Chain A
Amino acid sequence: MAALENPKGSTLRNAFGNVLSLFILLLIGILAFSIRLFSVIKYESVIHEFDPYFNYRVTQYLTKNGIYDFWNWFDDRTWYPLGRVIGGTVYPGLTLTAGTLWWILNSLNIPLSVETVCVFTAPIFSAIAAWATYLLTKEVKGTGAGLTAAALLAMVPSYISRSVAGSYDNEAVAIFALIFTFYLYIKTLNTGSLFYATLNALAYFYMVCSWGGYTFIINLIPMHVLLCIVTGRYSSRLYIAYAPLVVLGTLLASLVPVVGFNAVMTSEHFASFLVFIIIHVVALVYYIKGILPPKMFKVAVTLVVSVGLVVCCAVIAVLVALVASSPTKGWSGRSLSLLDPTYASKYIPIIASVSEHQPPTWPSYFMDINVLAFLVPAGIIACFLPLSDASSFVVLYIVTSVYFSGVMVRLMLVLAPAACILSGIALSEAFNVFTRSIKFQLPGISGNSETDAGDAGSGSIVTQNDAVKTDKNQDTVKERPSRKNKKKEKEIVEKASIKSQIEKRLLVLPLEASVLAIFLLVLLGAFYVVHCVWAASEAYSAPSIVLTSYSQDGLHVFDDFREAYAWLSHNTEVDDKVASWWDYGYQTTAMANRTVIVDNNTWNNTHIATVGTAMSSPEKAAWEIFNSLDVKYVLVVFGGLVGYPSDDINKFLWMVRIGGGVFPHIKEPDYLRDGQYRIDSQATPTMLNSLMYKLSYYRFVETDGKGFDRVRRTEIGKKYFKLTHFEEVFTTHHWMVRIFKLKPPKNRIRGKTKKSKLKASSTTSSKRSGTRKKNPWH
């Protein structure tokens, strides 16, 4: 009769567990969403930083003009006079996602502005990414680990830094796409279902649409497949998981304009094709092994292997020949700098100049993943107990992403999900062990059978109870013939549980030790949460277009950037061209709606070098360069008055370096005194005569009489000077943005004009010779 009672009780318990985990997931989603709202609460609902402004502008265009115009969009407001083909050079995933969201909302008559949708896209997708993490980890190590990992990912600072409300950047949706693609891969690997394989290809397609980081997927999965084959774990499921992904995924990827034929022509993708060939060879071997008697098989193996090797060699030879014919060996600059961390600083200053492309420091690991850094090793160990296909994938994922994050601080973002998954596994396993030990030794329950102890399951995360059940309960799990996929899913979980059960019986720790350990683990978790909330509220929420500072007399707001952009947009002609260093290009086009010469999409090194040259030239030469580019206004960012450190003077070395890289008459040593950029009395005359110096410090000395620069903490070298070819038209309240206008050329007597013409022609010719140089960036 007990048998009759049990099923009911356990289904109820099962259902309760499911509902509970659903509820926990919902809470995790809310947590992930709301922890990213600090920026809206502390500042305002506004697009952040630089790239998000471009994405926002593209989304605006998309919602206004529709998808077809978007694909064909030639943007003439940037890279003047070259322009930029936006539709073909942008990863459209993010904008299409936000555009679709906006379209759905508007067709339901919910009048949210495009800006609002864009601001909240990132938090929404981080909630979804947390759920995807749950699914992935569940496939690897069961529900408990899944929920822990999801909770960790919901607030991992590294991901928060790229997905706070307003940070409308590709990474926000790409991380979700990355995790979800991995989940579907693991799911296919576990089930061998072609349905999931197809979904996997689609998820991969979405990832390709969203971010250039898709190459990570298309290299990591082949690596895993290769690992499985090498370790003798080949199965038909592996084949189904991999082969359709390569075929469908590559086809779909080449549909994205920005990828196009790169999907089959660049070296980043070759690993996948190579492994594709290998897996077919292996599959053939297994097939032949199945149909032939052992003796015949040996003969066949030698045959197939030799033929396969010949084919492989031929293909590799062709590839090598192809690759060798291209100057960068078929690798894009960014990928090369990943493989060889010193490559960028040697050859491509423009990549090296971006702060997020620098290698990270140790504190940044602690800042970005915090306690996860210590939990990851434990997670790796847990993955080896027992090692399955899925857990080997996770281990491979963490190992590669640790390497990449060590090369480029930006790729910390790829490390974060892996760290969360492994830490989730580690925490969950640890809780599992400790709570089971406690339950086993508690006086009331210990009288029961040992197996009951397994019931305590996942400790703080209760919902593992459907996974870790007593034997009695397990018959009821499968009572109802439910959908096929569901069943399979459960079977796997159960299998793992049975196995682990056997081992668990042996692992019992002393009561006091486990209580203490649980306490410490909870403390660790609490520390992590506190750190994450601090990071979200203090470190990563600043929109960077509006700055605040606290002083004795309260909060100070520095809204100078928008002041300048608003001034530009209202008080200059629509077709005026504004020159500035490329950092401010996206913001100028998006906020001021003015044509810029260069912007953050650094596709043309020569053009950027031209602007860099102009900024580092003396006034007259600079005027000529700018005038030849139809520039009417020059915008410089100057932090010397209020102490804003990331201003143009501090970026000046890159202007000189990039400019000098293309135009040899700009020589870096001319600007250096004792190997340093200086603007004080020790500065070189070239430096003091450069346009950047003059525009930044024009009439600066009159503010305090000494010209004390608060960023460089020194008095400026040249204090009193006049501008002859430029005039100040606007300076913002805190002097952070200064806008100068090119004066119209003066009437000159004949003899002089001839001379200047001669000069102008010489500069243009030098420029031409510069452009002729092969640009390593493209």
Chain B
Amino acid sequence: MITTNQKTLPSFTPLVSSLSLSPEGDLAAKLNLFLAHPHTTNTKLKPKCLNFQALTSISSYSYPQVKKMGIRFDLFLLSVAILWAPVLSDLVLSKVDRRIDLTSQSVRVTSTLKVENAGTNPVSEVLLAFPDHHAKNLAYLTAITNEGKGKTKGSTVSLPVEVVHPKGMPPALTWYSLSLLKELGKGESVTLDVVAIFTHTLRPFPEEITQAETQLVVFQDSAFYISPYVVKVQSLSVKLPEPKVESYTKLENTKISGSEIKYGPYENLPSFSYTPIAIHFESNKPFAVAQELVREIEISHWGNVQVTEHYNLIHGGAQSKGEFSRLDYQARPHVRGASAFRNLVAKLPPRAHSVYYRDEIGNISTSHLWGDSKKTQLEIEPRYPMFGGWRTSFTIGYGLPLQDFLFQSEGKRFLNISFGCPMNEVVIDNLIVKVVLPEGSGDISVSVPFPVKQWQEAKLSHLDLVGRPVVVLEKTNVVQEHDQHFQVHYKFNNLSLLREPLMLISGFFFLFVTCIIYMHADLTISKSSASYVAKLQWDEVQAAIQQVQNIINRCLTIHDKLEASLRDLSRTGDVQACKAARKAADSYLKELSKELKPLLAFLQSSPQAAQILPKVEDLIAKERELQERLMLKHSTVVDCYEKKLGGREIENRVSSIQQKVTALRQEVDDLLEIIDEI
């Protein structure tokens, strides 16, 4: 703790010393006292922003003390204000109207400032001040002015805002400067609407609740508008989600009506006026915080923009403690589990298709999708109701028609798509938007309406060779108001579209060509080697034997035909037909024996066939014998028929031949099998 004090002292000394110069010396003493006060040694103190932070952070858990110390601090600020007032330009805020909207988890402060130039020099910029501890949670700041004199018809123009570090200002304030569109001359005035949105500013108090308790949050701010300028008239109204207020700081002119608390009007306050107020109220709005959201927008020129969003969600409200009883939750979900949220609604662009909602272990079935021509709404329920401090992660993906988002101008294409998350209530701590452009696009530029960190990557996917250029945009503290359109300009040649199909086609083509080549090529290394030659010869021999076998088989078929003709004969008695069959068979057999000759000659000449030759010759001889016998049988039978002999007689005559034929047939078949085996 001592070290904390030592660190803060150096930064604080100038202030103290300057204070001691001021007429109200005892105040400085008070401040010193305050510094020595035991509360300052609290662990929650942040060294750098002691003067504002000190009190507010103490109050975050010793809340009643705020009221006591607030007044003291107020005085201190007054003194500071008096001290610095002359330094600034002569602007005067003639009317300040602040409306703080606390109905959601982010704090929306809308201030209407009427700025008047009371000095002589024309002024072109207006300074806005926010306490550091608020400013670090500042998500969004915009100032709008109504152009044109006519009050009704003024087109709203937002003014450029930038962070400045003016010198000689009290520390622990962050400064933003608004550049006016035209200089403000003497006595002129302009009305500005400043919208500031803060996240993580509502603190749950108590920080841990059970399932049955409702969630209470504390909001702290100043009742007066902190400004380097003198404020003539100001008022503040705070809108709460429900009319249930635990407590609030009561100042003069404080009114509460329903869910709205009003402070003011206060008049003629010097610059840097500060009065802390704290409001402790019930808020059961979903405190959905996406700690990280990665949106990947992938453009396919085949007609689709694929958006994939990876959420890492946490319930940022009061931590849940103790039991979670499903029974209680199911019986009375609004009482037992009031602070939990069970669903979120994503507003997707119209004509979104192929929507999916899943996490790393699969599809999440609790979602509904409906839509019309203007929007598509996706209601998603996490797998379990989200209680305080519970986390979940999931992925949403959808496809969008390309023509709705991709346009062309000046030879370049540009993607025009929304930046933020499609769910309104979600506050995003860290948003990463990746725009994946098609492979081969170049000349990339990005225009985003607010400052973001950006760099480029490459992503390899779907048969890419060099990778697709990816524009990565990173922004912290993103709220609903950031859901504006941004543009990515790039150049892309349509011919590149054909690259991947062509690659596939040529890939398969070459595959088939290699197959064909492989099937046809003889990949033997040495063509003259003995074994190779022998193999070739053996192949030839085998082919020859095969042919021989076939011829024999055909012979056998003809034999069968002859037999069949004999059977026909016995049935019909038509001798002529039988003779004709015999003739045909004769001629066939002759042809076959002619065919057989060269084959046999080849086999005899080939050395490889030496071992198989005897069998083949045997086979042929047997077949010939069989043939002869069969012919003999045939002619005998025909003869008999011509002589009109009886059936018994024919059988007697033929039977001996028939026996031989069957035996031979058996032998031939056996031989064929043996040759087959070889």
Contacts and interface: CB of A to CB of B under 8 A. Distances in A.
B322 A727 contact: yes
B557 interface: yes
B362 A471 contact: no
A703 B359 CA distance: 31
Contacts of A3: 595
Given A109-B464, A559-B365, A565-B361, A729 B383 contact: no
A702 interface: yes
A571 interface: yes
Contacts of B556: 471
Interface in B410-457: none
A109 B553 contact: no
B362 A44 contact: yes
Interface string B552-584: 011011001100100000000000000000000
Interface string B378-404: 000001100001111100000000000
Interface string B92-103: 000000000000
B364 interface: yes
Nearest to B359: A566
A563 B364 CA distance: 9
Interface stretch (A296-304, A673-681, A731-739, A766-774): A731-739
Interface residues of B, number: 49
Interface string A488-516: 00010001001000100000000000000
A109 B460 CA distance: 6
A591 interface: yes
A730 B383 contact: no
Contacts, number: 118
B326 A731 contact: yes
Contacts of B326: 728, 730-733, 735
Interface residues of A, number: 48
B324 A730 contact: yes
B513 interface: no
Contacts of B557: 449, 451, 470-472
B327 A703 contact: yes
Contacts of B554: 471-472, 475
A588 B363 CA distance: 17
A110 interface: yes
Interface stretch (B5-13, B73-81, B484-492, B541-549): B541-549
A46 interface: yes
B362 A498 contact: no
Contacts of B595: 3
A563 B327 contact: no
Contact of A475 (B324, B540, B550): B550
B323 interface: yes
B118 interface: no
B325 interface: yes
Contact of B462 (A110, A475, A563): A110
Given A699-B325, A733-B326, A567 B384 contact: yes
A570 B540 contact: no
B82 interface: no
A745 interface: no
Nearest to B553: A471
A450 B539 CA distance: 32
A278 to B, nearest CB: 25
Given A46-B362, A449-B561, A471-B557, A567 B383 contact: yes
A562 B363 CA distance: 10
A732 B462 contact: no
Contacts of A730: 324, 326, 384
Interface centre among B324, B366, B462, by most A CB within 10 Å?
B324
Nearest to B536: A481
A269 B546 CA distance: 44
Contact of A110 (B362, B384, B463, B542): B463
B540 A559 contact: no
A291 interface: no
Given A449-B560, A475-B546, 18 more contacts: A108-B463, A109-B464, A109-B465, A111-B461, A449-B564, A451-B560, A474-B553, A475-B550, A487-B542, A495-B673, A559-B365, A562-B362, A570-B390, A570-B392, A702-B327, A703-B327, A728-B323, A731-B326
16 contacts: A3-B595, A44-B363, A46-B361, A46-B362, A110-B461, A472-B554, A474-B553, A478-B542, A484-B535, A502-B669, A559-B365, A562-B383, A566-B384, A570-B390, A570-B392, A571-B390
Q: Which 9 A-B pairs have the closest CB atoms?
A: A475-B550, A731-B326, A46-B362, A478-B546, A471-B553, A44-B363, A481-B539, A570-B391, A557-B365
Interface of A: 3, 44, 46, 108-111, 449-451, 470-472, 474-475, 477-479, 481, 484, 487, 491, 495, 498, 502, 545-546, 557, 559, 562-563, 565-567, 570-571, 591, 699, 702-703, 727-733, 735
